[in-house]
Chain A
Amino acid sequence: EVQLVQSGAEVKKPGESLKISCQGSGYDFTNYWIAWVRLLPGEGLEWLGIIYPGDSDTKYSPSFRGQVTISADKSTSSAYLQWISLKASDTAVYYCARSLGGGYLDFWGQGTLVTVSS
């Protein structure tokens, strides 16, 4: 069974750093892209970027380039989304999702709620 299991909810203060994770199982993790998508409170979905764990090829949305870092570890079948300095506007639910060939997202993680508040 294909599963993407994300790390738990986080509460952080502005300026703090954070790294959330997404662990895949039930399929060849290195052969599928992993995308990160967020849902802002009361708003819609936004695509942050995507990584191919096989060779760590990574693409970022222009809106998020330089704001977040996407990485992957083949040895643990995990992908990561990292911030160096969080802002209140980063408060959202972050989802990882699997994509074959960079196409549509067929399996999604359960989401990680990130709350940034002083």
Chain B
Amino acid sequence: NYALTQPHSVSGSPGQTVTISCTRSSGSIASNFVQWYQQRPGSSPRNLIYEDDQRPSGVPDRFSASIDGSSNSASLTISGLKTEDEADYYCQSYDSGSLWIFGGGTRLTVL
């Protein structure tokens, strides 16, 4: 098993760009696809990114993601920050035997 570690919180002002990291504790980040989910207060989670960097239809292109083997991490970048982006963000990947692992979540505050 491994863990996915995210910063507890990040913040930014409207219009700014923020990046949320997700670091894999062991094994290569490239070994298994990484997904990102957004959960607004009182709502169900919503998929933002699948298979490392793919956006489902309906997700604005302000949301982008990548993986970095040198830091063994994935990153979610939100550009042109809006107040509606204030939410919790989770990365998710897989372990052997098709077991799913979620990161601890990052609270984004839009100042």
Contacts and interface: CB of A to CB of B under 8 A. Distances in A.
Asked if chains A and B come from one complex, the reply is: yes
Interface stretch (A24-32, A71-79, A83-91, A99-107): A99-107
B99 A62 contact: yes
On chain B, which size bracket covers the interface? 20 to 34
B50 A59 contact: no
**A interface SS class:** strand
Interface string A43-57: 111110010000000
Contacts, number: 59
Chain B interface secondary structure, helix, strand, loop or mixed? Answer: strand
Interface in B21-72: 33, 35, 37, 39, 44-47, 50-51, 56
A108 B39 CA distance: 11
A67 B33 CA distance: 28
Contacts of B45: 37, 45, 95, 97, 105, 108
A95 B92 CA distance: 15
Given A44-B103, A111-B44, A106 B33 contact: no
Interface residues of A, number: 23
A45 B105 contact: yes
Interface in A10-66: 35, 37, 39, 43-47, 50, 59, 61-62
Nearest to A46: B102
Interface centre among A37, A61, A95, A111 (most CB of B within 10 A): A37
Interface of A: 35, 37, 39, 43-47, 50, 59, 61-62, 95, 97, 102-106, 108-111
